[in-house]
Structure 1
Amino acid sequence: MLSLKFKKYHYFYGMQWIKTTLILLWKVWFLLMNVISLPFIVPTCVVLILLNQYKAFYQTERLWALFVFYTSGFYFKKEGFSQKLDPTKQYMVISNHTSVLDIMIMFILHPRNPIVFVGKSEVKYYPLLGYVFKKAHILVDRKDRNSRMQVYDEVKKKVHQGLSICIFPEGGVPDESIQLNKFKDGAFGMAIEHQLPIVIYTFGDVKKRFPFSLLRGNPGSIRVKKHPIIETKGLIKKDVNRIKEEIYTVISKQLKEFDN
Protein backbone atom coordinates (compact mmCIF):
# COMPACT_ATOMS: atom_id res chain seq x y z
CA MET A 1 0.00 0.00 0.00
CA LEU A 2 2.79 2.41 0.94
CA SER A 3 4.63 1.45 -2.22
CA LEU A 4 1.56 2.33 -4.35
CA LYS A 5 1.16 5.71 -2.63
CA PHE A 6 4.86 6.42 -3.14
CA LYS A 7 4.57 5.60 -6.84
CA LYS A 8 1.57 7.94 -7.24
CA TYR A 9 3.42 10.67 -5.34
CA HIS A 10 6.53 10.15 -7.45
CA TYR A 11 4.50 10.16 -10.69
CA PHE A 12 2.57 13.33 -9.77
CA TYR A 13 5.63 15.37 -8.85
CA GLY A 14 7.56 13.97 -11.77
CA MET A 15 4.85 15.21 -14.15
CA GLN A 16 4.77 18.59 -12.38
CA TRP A 17 8.54 18.90 -12.84
CA ILE A 18 8.24 18.09 -16.56
CA LYS A 19 5.38 20.60 -16.96
CA THR A 20 7.29 23.36 -15.15
CA THR A 21 10.42 22.69 -17.21
CA LEU A 22 8.46 22.89 -20.47
CA ILE A 23 6.83 26.18 -19.41
CA LEU A 24 10.23 27.67 -18.54
CA LEU A 25 11.72 26.53 -21.85
CA TRP A 26 8.77 28.04 -23.73
CA LYS A 27 9.11 31.37 -21.90
CA VAL A 28 12.82 31.40 -22.70
CA TRP A 29 11.80 30.84 -26.34
CA PHE A 30 9.37 33.79 -26.12
CA LEU A 31 12.17 35.97 -24.74
CA LEU A 32 14.54 34.72 -27.44
CA MET A 33 12.06 35.71 -30.17
CA ASN A 34 12.02 39.23 -28.73
CA VAL A 35 15.82 39.37 -28.54
CA ILE A 36 16.20 38.12 -32.12
CA SER A 37 13.87 40.86 -33.39
CA LEU A 38 15.51 43.73 -31.48
CA PRO A 39 18.58 44.32 -33.71
CA PHE A 40 16.23 45.04 -36.61
CA ILE A 41 13.23 46.56 -34.85
CA VAL A 42 14.87 49.04 -32.45
CA PRO A 43 17.26 50.81 -34.91
CA THR A 44 14.52 50.98 -37.54
CA CYS A 45 12.07 52.43 -35.03
CA VAL A 46 14.58 55.01 -33.78
CA VAL A 47 15.34 56.21 -37.33
CA LEU A 48 11.64 56.44 -38.21
CA ILE A 49 10.91 58.36 -35.00
CA LEU A 50 13.70 60.84 -35.76
CA LEU A 51 12.29 61.27 -39.27
CA ASN A 52 8.82 61.78 -37.77
CA GLN A 53 7.42 58.90 -39.83
CA TYR A 54 4.99 57.45 -37.33
CA LYS A 55 2.89 55.38 -39.71
CA ALA A 56 5.97 53.56 -41.02
CA PHE A 57 7.18 53.24 -37.43
CA TYR A 58 3.84 51.71 -36.48
CA GLN A 59 4.11 49.07 -39.20
CA THR A 60 7.55 48.18 -37.83
CA GLU A 61 6.06 47.76 -34.35
CA ARG A 62 3.33 45.63 -35.88
CA LEU A 63 5.89 43.46 -37.66
CA TRP A 64 7.57 42.83 -34.28
CA ALA A 65 4.22 41.87 -32.73
CA LEU A 66 3.34 39.50 -35.59
CA PHE A 67 6.74 37.80 -35.43
CA VAL A 68 6.82 37.26 -31.67
CA PHE A 69 3.12 36.36 -31.35
CA TYR A 70 3.03 33.64 -33.99
CA THR A 71 6.51 32.19 -33.43
CA SER A 72 5.57 31.79 -29.75
CA GLY A 73 2.69 29.50 -30.68
CA PHE A 74 -0.29 31.83 -30.26
CA TYR A 75 -3.18 32.15 -32.71
CA PHE A 76 -6.55 33.91 -32.77
CA LYS A 77 -10.14 32.79 -32.58
CA LYS A 78 -12.02 35.90 -33.69
CA GLU A 79 -15.68 36.83 -33.44
CA GLY A 80 -17.58 39.95 -34.51
CA PHE A 81 -15.08 41.23 -37.08
CA SER A 82 -17.60 41.80 -39.88
CA GLN A 83 -17.76 45.52 -38.99
CA LYS A 84 -14.61 46.98 -40.55
CA LEU A 85 -12.77 50.07 -39.39
CA ASP A 86 -12.53 52.99 -41.78
CA PRO A 87 -8.81 53.63 -42.48
CA THR A 88 -9.55 57.34 -42.96
CA LYS A 89 -11.08 57.69 -39.47
CA GLN A 90 -9.62 57.89 -35.98
CA TYR A 91 -10.95 55.79 -33.11
CA MET A 92 -10.67 55.28 -29.38
CA VAL A 93 -9.71 51.61 -28.95
CA ILE A 94 -10.25 49.85 -25.61
CA SER A 95 -10.25 46.36 -24.10
CA ASN A 96 -9.75 44.51 -20.85
CA HIS A 97 -6.09 44.29 -19.79
CA THR A 98 -4.52 41.10 -18.41
CA SER A 99 -1.06 40.64 -19.91
CA VAL A 100 1.83 42.16 -21.83
CA LEU A 101 0.40 40.28 -24.83
CA ASP A 102 -2.47 42.79 -25.00
CA ILE A 103 -0.20 45.38 -26.65
CA MET A 104 0.94 42.89 -29.31
CA ILE A 105 -2.67 41.89 -29.95
CA MET A 106 -3.70 45.52 -30.48
CA PHE A 107 -0.91 46.03 -33.02
CA ILE A 108 -1.90 42.88 -34.92
CA LEU A 109 -5.62 43.72 -34.98
CA HIS A 110 -5.10 47.14 -36.59
CA PRO A 111 -3.15 46.89 -39.85
CA ARG A 112 -4.73 49.98 -41.45
CA ASN A 113 -5.50 52.18 -38.42
CA PRO A 114 -2.22 53.10 -36.67
CA ILE A 115 -2.76 53.41 -32.94
CA VAL A 116 -0.95 55.30 -30.20
CA PHE A 117 -0.97 53.83 -26.71
CA VAL A 118 -1.54 55.82 -23.55
CA GLY A 119 0.48 53.98 -20.90
CA LYS A 120 2.07 54.31 -17.48
CA SER A 121 5.19 56.47 -17.23
CA GLU A 122 7.20 53.59 -15.72
CA VAL A 123 7.54 52.13 -19.23
CA LYS A 124 10.15 54.76 -20.12
CA TYR A 125 12.66 53.05 -17.81
CA TYR A 126 12.63 49.79 -19.82
CA PRO A 127 15.93 49.33 -21.72
CA LEU A 128 15.70 50.31 -25.43
CA LEU A 129 11.96 49.68 -25.72
CA GLY A 130 11.34 52.34 -23.08
CA TYR A 131 13.02 54.95 -25.28
CA VAL A 132 10.99 53.89 -28.30
CA PHE A 133 7.72 53.88 -26.38
CA LYS A 134 8.43 57.28 -24.82
CA LYS A 135 9.12 58.88 -28.20
CA ALA A 136 6.18 57.36 -30.08
CA HIS A 137 3.42 56.86 -27.54
CA ILE A 138 1.91 58.85 -24.67
CA LEU A 139 3.09 58.23 -21.12
CA VAL A 140 1.21 59.39 -18.03
CA ASP A 141 2.09 59.53 -14.36
CA ARG A 142 -1.31 58.90 -12.83
CA LYS A 143 -0.16 60.30 -9.47
CA ASP A 144 0.68 63.64 -11.08
CA ARG A 145 -2.30 65.83 -11.94
CA ASN A 146 -0.28 67.91 -14.43
CA SER A 147 0.82 64.75 -16.22
CA ARG A 148 -2.79 63.57 -16.44
CA MET A 149 -3.88 66.91 -17.88
CA GLN A 150 -1.03 66.89 -20.42
CA VAL A 151 -2.36 63.63 -21.82
CA TYR A 152 -5.42 65.44 -23.17
CA ASP A 153 -3.19 67.79 -25.19
CA GLU A 154 -1.04 64.91 -26.45
CA VAL A 155 -4.09 62.92 -27.51
CA LYS A 156 -5.44 65.95 -29.37
CA LYS A 157 -2.16 66.25 -31.32
CA LYS A 158 -2.12 62.56 -32.23
CA VAL A 159 -5.75 62.58 -33.39
CA HIS A 160 -5.04 65.61 -35.60
CA GLN A 161 -2.15 63.63 -37.10
CA GLY A 162 -4.66 60.98 -38.19
CA LEU A 163 -3.85 58.43 -35.47
CA SER A 164 -6.18 56.38 -33.30
CA ILE A 165 -5.76 56.12 -29.53
CA CYS A 166 -5.61 52.93 -27.46
CA ILE A 167 -6.27 53.03 -23.72
CA PHE A 168 -6.81 50.13 -21.33
CA PRO A 169 -9.46 51.75 -19.10
CA GLU A 170 -8.69 49.63 -16.04
CA GLY A 171 -5.55 51.73 -15.67
CA GLY A 172 -3.23 48.72 -15.53
CA VAL A 173 -3.26 44.96 -15.16
CA PRO A 174 -5.46 44.05 -12.17
CA ASP A 175 -4.72 41.43 -9.54
CA GLU A 176 -5.28 37.90 -10.83
CA SER A 177 -8.26 37.46 -8.51
CA ILE A 178 -10.07 40.32 -10.29
CA GLN A 179 -11.69 39.46 -13.61
CA LEU A 180 -12.32 43.08 -14.65
CA ASN A 181 -11.28 46.12 -12.65
CA LYS A 182 -13.30 49.33 -12.43
CA PHE A 183 -12.88 51.61 -15.44
CA LYS A 184 -11.37 55.06 -15.17
CA ASP A 185 -13.02 57.99 -16.97
CA GLY A 186 -10.09 59.07 -19.16
CA ALA A 187 -10.66 57.00 -22.31
CA PHE A 188 -14.36 57.83 -22.44
CA GLY A 189 -13.90 61.52 -21.67
CA MET A 190 -11.32 61.88 -24.45
CA ALA A 191 -13.44 59.87 -26.89
CA ILE A 192 -16.35 62.24 -26.31
CA GLU A 193 -14.18 65.38 -26.32
CA HIS A 194 -12.68 64.46 -29.71
CA GLN A 195 -15.86 62.75 -30.99
CA LEU A 196 -13.99 59.48 -31.58
CA PRO A 197 -16.02 56.30 -32.18
CA ILE A 198 -15.17 53.71 -29.51
CA VAL A 199 -13.90 50.32 -30.69
CA ILE A 200 -14.41 47.67 -28.00
CA TYR A 201 -12.68 44.31 -27.66
CA THR A 202 -12.85 41.56 -25.09
CA PHE A 203 -9.72 39.42 -24.88
CA GLY A 204 -10.21 35.90 -23.55
CA ASP A 205 -7.56 33.36 -22.52
CA VAL A 206 -4.72 35.89 -22.36
CA LYS A 207 -4.36 35.68 -18.58
CA LYS A 208 -4.16 31.89 -18.87
CA ARG A 209 -1.80 31.85 -21.87
CA PHE A 210 0.71 34.44 -20.66
CA PRO A 211 0.27 35.53 -17.03
CA PHE A 212 2.93 37.48 -15.16
CA SER A 213 3.79 34.33 -13.19
CA LEU A 214 7.03 32.79 -14.49
CA LEU A 215 5.88 29.20 -13.91
CA ARG A 216 2.50 29.40 -15.63
CA GLY A 217 1.32 29.80 -19.21
CA ASN A 218 1.26 27.95 -22.49
CA PRO A 219 0.90 28.55 -26.24
CA GLY A 220 -2.52 28.18 -27.86
CA SER A 221 -5.61 30.04 -28.99
CA ILE A 222 -6.63 33.50 -27.83
CA ARG A 223 -10.26 34.46 -28.25
CA VAL A 224 -11.03 38.02 -29.32
CA LYS A 225 -14.58 39.37 -29.44
CA LYS A 226 -15.05 42.65 -31.28
CA HIS A 227 -18.19 44.42 -30.13
CA PRO A 228 -20.30 46.91 -32.12
CA ILE A 229 -18.63 50.30 -32.39
CA ILE A 230 -20.16 53.00 -30.19
CA GLU A 231 -20.51 56.40 -31.82
CA THR A 232 -19.84 59.47 -29.67
CA LYS A 233 -21.07 62.11 -32.10
CA GLY A 234 -23.30 64.52 -30.20
CA LEU A 235 -22.38 63.16 -26.77
CA ILE A 236 -21.23 65.57 -24.08
CA LYS A 237 -19.26 65.39 -20.82
CA LYS A 238 -22.22 64.28 -18.73
CA ASP A 239 -22.49 61.13 -20.88
CA VAL A 240 -19.06 59.85 -19.79
CA ASN A 241 -20.26 57.80 -16.84
CA ARG A 242 -23.15 56.25 -18.77
CA ILE A 243 -20.92 55.19 -21.67
CA LYS A 244 -18.26 53.91 -19.27
CA GLU A 245 -20.74 51.73 -17.37
CA GLU A 246 -22.35 50.50 -20.58
CA ILE A 247 -19.02 49.34 -22.02
CA TYR A 248 -17.93 47.84 -18.71
CA THR A 249 -21.09 45.73 -18.71
CA VAL A 250 -20.46 44.59 -22.30
CA ILE A 251 -16.90 43.41 -21.58
CA SER A 252 -17.77 41.89 -18.20
CA LYS A 253 -20.62 39.89 -19.71
CA GLN A 254 -18.38 38.62 -22.52
CA LEU A 255 -15.67 37.53 -20.07
CA LYS A 256 -18.26 35.49 -18.19
CA GLU A 257 -19.36 33.89 -21.46
CA PHE A 258 -15.73 33.02 -22.23
CA ASP A 259 -15.43 31.38 -18.80
CA ASN A 260 -18.49 29.25 -19.49
Structure 2
Amino acid sequence: MKLVKNVLGRVFAVWAAIVFIGSMLVIIIPLWFIARQEEPRRTINAFKLFHPWIAFFFIFSGVRRRFVGLHHFEKEKSYVVVCNHNCFMDVPLSSCGIPVPNRTIAKAEMAKIPLFNVIYRGGSILVDRKSESSRKRSYIAMRKVLNYGLTMCIYPEGTRNKGKVPMQQFHDGAFRLAVDSKKAILPTVLFNTTKVMPRDKSFYFWPTPVEMHFLDPISSAGKTVDELKEETWQVMRDYYVAKGGFQEAV
Protein backbone atom coordinates (compact mmCIF):
# COMPACT_ATOMS: atom_id res chain seq x y z
CA MET A 1 0.00 0.00 0.00
CA LYS A 2 2.85 2.37 0.86
CA LEU A 3 4.52 1.68 -2.50
CA VAL A 4 1.27 2.34 -4.35
CA LYS A 5 0.77 5.62 -2.51
CA ASN A 6 4.34 6.72 -3.27
CA VAL A 7 3.82 6.01 -6.97
CA LEU A 8 0.46 7.77 -7.03
CA GLY A 9 1.98 10.72 -5.17
CA ARG A 10 4.47 11.20 -8.03
CA VAL A 11 1.71 10.84 -10.62
CA PHE A 12 -0.38 13.46 -8.81
CA ALA A 13 2.72 15.68 -8.64
CA VAL A 14 3.11 15.52 -12.42
CA TRP A 15 -0.56 16.36 -12.88
CA ALA A 16 -0.43 19.24 -10.36
CA ALA A 17 2.63 20.65 -12.14
CA ILE A 18 0.85 20.47 -15.50
CA VAL A 19 -2.22 22.22 -14.09
CA PHE A 20 -0.16 24.90 -12.34
CA ILE A 21 2.24 25.72 -15.16
CA GLY A 22 -0.38 25.34 -17.89
CA SER A 23 -2.79 27.73 -16.20
CA MET A 24 0.07 30.09 -15.30
CA LEU A 25 0.92 30.47 -19.00
CA VAL A 26 -2.60 31.77 -19.58
CA ILE A 27 -2.18 34.65 -17.12
CA ILE A 28 1.50 35.43 -17.63
CA ILE A 29 1.06 38.07 -20.36
CA PRO A 30 -1.67 40.12 -18.63
CA LEU A 31 0.29 39.82 -15.38
CA TRP A 32 3.40 41.14 -17.12
CA PHE A 33 1.50 44.34 -17.91
CA ILE A 34 -0.05 44.52 -14.43
CA ALA A 35 3.39 44.21 -12.80
CA ARG A 36 4.37 47.48 -14.47
CA GLN A 37 1.45 49.45 -13.05
CA GLU A 38 1.73 51.79 -10.09
CA GLU A 39 0.39 50.95 -6.65
CA PRO A 40 -2.26 50.39 -5.46
CA ARG A 41 -3.60 49.57 -8.92
CA ARG A 42 -0.95 46.87 -9.44
CA THR A 43 -1.85 44.90 -6.31
CA ILE A 44 -5.59 45.24 -6.85
CA ASN A 45 -5.43 44.05 -10.45
CA ALA A 46 -2.97 41.25 -9.64
CA PHE A 47 -5.32 40.10 -6.88
CA LYS A 48 -8.19 39.93 -9.39
CA LEU A 49 -6.05 37.80 -11.68
CA PHE A 50 -4.49 35.54 -9.05
CA HIS A 51 -7.76 34.57 -7.36
CA PRO A 52 -9.40 32.70 -10.26
CA TRP A 53 -6.05 31.23 -11.32
CA ILE A 54 -5.26 29.75 -7.92
CA ALA A 55 -8.89 28.61 -7.48
CA PHE A 56 -8.57 26.78 -10.81
CA PHE A 57 -5.33 25.16 -9.67
CA PHE A 58 -6.75 23.91 -6.38
CA ILE A 59 -9.93 22.57 -7.98
CA PHE A 60 -8.20 20.68 -10.78
CA SER A 61 -5.34 19.41 -8.62
CA GLY A 62 -7.93 17.88 -6.30
CA VAL A 63 -7.17 20.00 -3.22
CA ARG A 64 -10.22 21.44 -1.52
CA ARG A 65 -9.94 24.60 0.56
CA ARG A 66 -11.87 25.59 3.67
CA PHE A 67 -11.74 29.06 5.22
CA VAL A 68 -12.74 29.91 8.78
CA GLY A 69 -13.06 33.42 10.24
CA LEU A 70 -13.42 35.48 7.06
CA HIS A 71 -15.75 37.79 8.99
CA HIS A 72 -12.69 39.23 10.77
CA PHE A 73 -11.88 41.28 7.66
CA GLU A 74 -13.72 44.57 8.10
CA LYS A 75 -14.41 46.84 5.16
CA GLU A 76 -12.06 49.77 4.68
CA LYS A 77 -9.48 48.22 7.03
CA SER A 78 -6.08 46.77 6.22
CA TYR A 79 -4.17 44.26 8.31
CA VAL A 80 -0.83 42.63 8.83
CA VAL A 81 -1.78 38.99 8.29
CA VAL A 82 0.73 36.55 9.81
CA CYS A 83 0.70 32.84 8.92
CA ASN A 84 2.53 29.74 10.09
CA HIS A 85 4.77 28.24 7.41
CA ASN A 86 5.32 24.51 6.86
CA CYS A 87 5.68 23.91 3.11
CA PHE A 88 5.52 25.46 -0.36
CA MET A 89 1.75 24.90 -0.52
CA ASP A 90 1.29 27.60 2.15
CA VAL A 91 1.96 30.44 -0.29
CA PRO A 92 -0.80 29.86 -2.86
CA LEU A 93 -3.21 28.93 -0.08
CA SER A 94 -2.56 32.02 2.04
CA SER A 95 -1.99 34.78 -0.51
CA CYS A 96 -5.17 33.96 -2.41
CA GLY A 97 -7.12 32.81 0.65
CA ILE A 98 -7.02 36.33 2.04
CA PRO A 99 -10.25 37.86 0.72
CA VAL A 100 -8.88 41.37 0.11
CA PRO A 101 -6.07 42.70 -2.13
CA ASN A 102 -2.74 41.92 -0.50
CA ARG A 103 0.95 41.50 -1.08
CA THR A 104 3.28 39.00 0.51
CA ILE A 105 6.96 39.09 1.35
CA ALA A 106 9.13 36.69 -0.66
CA LYS A 107 12.79 35.79 -1.12
CA ALA A 108 14.50 37.74 -3.89
CA GLU A 109 15.87 34.46 -5.30
CA MET A 110 12.37 33.48 -6.40
CA ALA A 111 12.38 36.31 -8.94
CA LYS A 112 15.35 34.69 -10.68
CA ILE A 113 13.28 31.68 -11.79
CA PRO A 114 12.03 32.06 -15.40
CA LEU A 115 8.29 32.83 -15.61
CA PHE A 116 7.99 32.77 -11.82
CA ASN A 117 9.77 36.12 -11.72
CA VAL A 118 6.68 37.72 -13.28
CA ILE A 119 4.43 36.05 -10.70
CA TYR A 120 6.53 37.18 -7.76
CA ARG A 121 7.03 40.70 -9.03
CA GLY A 122 3.29 41.01 -9.57
CA GLY A 123 2.19 39.81 -6.16
CA SER A 124 5.13 40.04 -3.77
CA ILE A 125 7.62 42.36 -2.16
CA LEU A 126 11.01 40.82 -2.73
CA VAL A 127 13.76 40.87 -0.14
CA ASP A 128 17.33 39.64 0.02
CA ARG A 129 17.65 38.74 3.70
CA LYS A 130 21.44 38.88 3.49
CA SER A 131 21.35 42.53 2.42
CA GLU A 132 20.67 45.25 4.97
CA SER A 133 19.71 47.74 2.24
CA SER A 134 17.30 45.22 0.69
CA ARG A 135 15.63 44.63 4.05
CA LYS A 136 15.20 48.37 4.54
CA ARG A 137 13.73 48.81 1.05
CA SER A 138 11.30 45.95 1.59
CA TYR A 139 10.20 47.42 4.93
CA ILE A 140 9.50 50.79 3.31
CA ALA A 141 7.60 49.02 0.52
CA MET A 142 5.46 47.16 3.08
CA ARG A 143 4.65 50.42 4.86
CA LYS A 144 3.51 51.86 1.53
CA VAL A 145 1.28 48.84 0.89
CA LEU A 146 -0.49 49.42 4.21
CA ASN A 147 -0.71 53.17 3.59
CA TYR A 148 -2.54 52.42 0.34
CA GLY A 149 -5.17 50.57 2.37
CA LEU A 150 -3.96 47.15 1.25
CA THR A 151 -3.09 44.17 3.43
CA MET A 152 0.33 42.58 3.97
CA CYS A 153 0.79 38.81 4.35
CA ILE A 154 3.92 37.75 6.23
CA TYR A 155 5.34 34.44 7.50
CA PRO A 156 6.99 35.56 10.75
CA GLU A 157 8.85 32.28 11.26
CA GLY A 158 11.04 33.48 8.41
CA THR A 159 11.33 30.10 6.73
CA ARG A 160 9.51 26.77 6.57
CA ASN A 161 9.22 24.99 9.90
CA LYS A 162 11.17 21.74 9.46
CA GLY A 163 11.63 21.06 13.14
CA LYS A 164 9.68 19.05 15.68
CA VAL A 165 8.03 22.01 17.34
CA PRO A 166 4.50 23.28 16.57
CA MET A 167 5.77 26.70 15.53
CA GLN A 168 9.17 28.35 15.35
CA GLN A 169 9.82 31.56 17.22
CA PHE A 170 8.77 34.66 15.29
CA HIS A 171 11.02 37.38 13.88
CA ASP A 172 10.30 41.03 14.68
CA GLY A 173 9.52 42.37 11.20
CA ALA A 174 5.75 41.83 10.96
CA PHE A 175 5.19 43.16 14.45
CA ARG A 176 7.37 46.21 14.04
CA LEU A 177 5.42 46.91 10.85
CA ALA A 178 2.11 46.64 12.74
CA VAL A 179 3.28 48.87 15.60
CA ASP A 180 4.79 51.51 13.30
CA SER A 181 1.76 51.61 11.00
CA LYS A 182 -0.78 51.24 13.83
CA LYS A 183 -2.38 48.27 12.11
CA ALA A 184 -3.84 45.19 13.78
CA ILE A 185 -2.23 41.79 13.46
CA LEU A 186 -4.57 39.16 12.02
CA PRO A 187 -3.23 35.76 13.20
CA THR A 188 -3.82 33.05 10.60
CA VAL A 189 -3.25 29.33 10.98
CA LEU A 190 -2.83 26.94 8.04
CA PHE A 191 -3.67 23.24 8.33
CA ASN A 192 -2.86 20.09 6.33
CA THR A 193 -0.54 21.64 3.75
CA THR A 194 2.20 19.18 4.72
CA LYS A 195 -0.19 16.34 3.89
CA VAL A 196 -0.35 17.70 0.34
CA MET A 197 3.42 18.23 0.09
CA PRO A 198 5.19 16.25 2.86
CA ARG A 199 8.53 17.57 4.05
CA ASP A 200 10.26 14.21 3.74
CA LYS A 201 9.29 13.52 0.10
CA SER A 202 10.55 15.16 -3.06
CA PHE A 203 8.29 15.74 -6.05
CA TYR A 204 5.25 14.37 -4.24
CA PHE A 205 1.70 15.68 -4.18
CA TRP A 206 -1.28 14.15 -2.41
CA PRO A 207 -4.73 15.79 -2.87
CA THR A 208 -5.89 16.56 0.66
CA PRO A 209 -8.35 19.17 2.00
CA VAL A 210 -6.52 22.16 3.47
CA GLU A 211 -7.77 24.84 5.83
CA MET A 212 -7.00 28.47 6.60
CA HIS A 213 -8.28 29.82 9.92
CA PHE A 214 -8.34 33.58 10.53
CA LEU A 215 -8.32 34.28 14.28
CA ASP A 216 -9.42 37.36 16.19
CA PRO A 217 -7.40 40.47 15.24
CA ILE A 218 -4.83 41.59 17.81
CA SER A 219 -4.51 45.33 18.27
CA SER A 220 -1.02 46.81 18.15
CA ALA A 221 -2.07 49.89 20.13
CA GLY A 222 0.02 50.52 23.24
CA LYS A 223 2.18 47.43 22.75
CA THR A 224 5.86 47.01 22.16
CA VAL A 225 7.10 44.88 19.29
CA ASP A 226 8.10 42.11 21.68
CA GLU A 227 4.76 42.15 23.49
CA LEU A 228 2.82 41.96 20.25
CA LYS A 229 5.07 39.25 18.87
CA GLU A 230 4.82 37.08 21.99
CA GLU A 231 1.03 37.47 22.24
CA THR A 232 0.55 36.55 18.59
CA TRP A 233 2.90 33.56 18.79
CA GLN A 234 1.14 32.20 21.86
CA VAL A 235 -2.34 32.60 20.36
CA MET A 236 -1.37 30.92 17.08
CA ARG A 237 0.61 28.11 18.70
CA ASP A 238 -2.13 27.27 21.19
CA TYR A 239 -4.77 27.25 18.45
CA TYR A 240 -2.61 25.14 16.12
CA VAL A 241 -1.93 22.54 18.80
CA ALA A 242 -5.55 22.49 20.04
CA LYS A 243 -6.81 21.81 16.52
CA GLY A 244 -4.34 18.99 15.92
CA GLY A 245 -2.05 20.87 13.56
CA PHE A 246 1.12 19.80 15.33
CA GLN A 247 0.27 16.13 14.93
CA GLU A 248 -0.28 16.47 11.17
CA ALA A 249 2.89 18.49 10.63
CA VAL A 250 5.45 16.18 12.27
TM-score by length of 1: 0.85
Give the percent of matched residue pairs that are identical in Structure 1 and Structure 2: 24
Of 219, 225, 236, the match for 1:251? 236
Question: Partner of 1:76 in structure 2?
Answer: 65
Kindly indicate whether residue 79 of structure 2 is the aligned counterpart of residue 123 of structure 1: no
Shifted more, 86-95 versus 210-219: the winner is 210-219
Distance 1:51 1:139 in 2: 16
Matched, 1:241 2:209: no
| Pair 1:21 & 2:10 matched | no
CA contact (8 A) 1:96 1:202 kept: yes
Q: Secondary structure at the match of 1:172?
A: coil
Where 1:98 maps in the other structure, the secondary structure is: coil
Determine if contact 2:46/2:122 at 8 Å carries over to the other structure.
Answer: no
Q: Match for 2:119 among 132, 135, 140?
A: 132
Aligned Cα root-mean-square deviation (Å): 1.9
In structure 2, C-alpha distance between the alignment counterparts of 1:197 and 1:87, rounded to whole Å: 14
Q: 1:162 to 1:78 in 2, by over 3 A?
A: closer
Query: Hey, what's the Cα distance between the residues in 2 that align with 1:35 and 1:216?
Result: 16
Residue in 2 aligned with 1:172?
159
Letter in 2 for 1:250: V
Tell me the CA shift for residue 215 of structure 1. Answer: 5.8
CA distance in 1, matches of 2:153, 2:49: 17
Deviations 1:154-189 (A, max 9, x none): 112222222211110000112153431110000000
TM-score by length of 2: 0.88
Please identify, of 87-96 and 131-140, the stretch whose mean Cα deviation from structure 2 is larger. Answer: 131-140
Question: CA-to-partner distance for each residue in 1:95-130, whole Å, 9 max, x for gaps?
Answer: 10112221212233223x211111121111121112
Cα distance in 2 between the residues matched to 1:227 and 1:258: 13
Checking the alignment, whether the CA contact within 8 Å between 1:65 and 1:107 is kept in structure 2 is no
Give the letter aligned to residue 76 of structure 1.
R
SS in structure 2 of the partner of residue 228 of structure 1:
coil
How far residue 49 of structure 1 moved from its aligned partner, in angstroms, is 2.0
Distance 2:143 2:89 in 1: 27
The Cα of 1:136 is off from its aligned counterpart by: 4.2
Could you tell me which runs of 5 or more consecutive residues in structure 2 were left unpaired when the two chains were aligned: none
Unaligned runs of 5+ in 1: 1-14
Residues 198 and 229 in structure 1, CA contact (< 8 A), matched pair in contact too? yes
Query: Larger Rg: 1 or 2?
Result: 1
Q: Specify whether residues 151 and 86 from structure 1 end up closer, same or farther in structure 2 by C-alpha distance, changes over 3 A only.
A: same
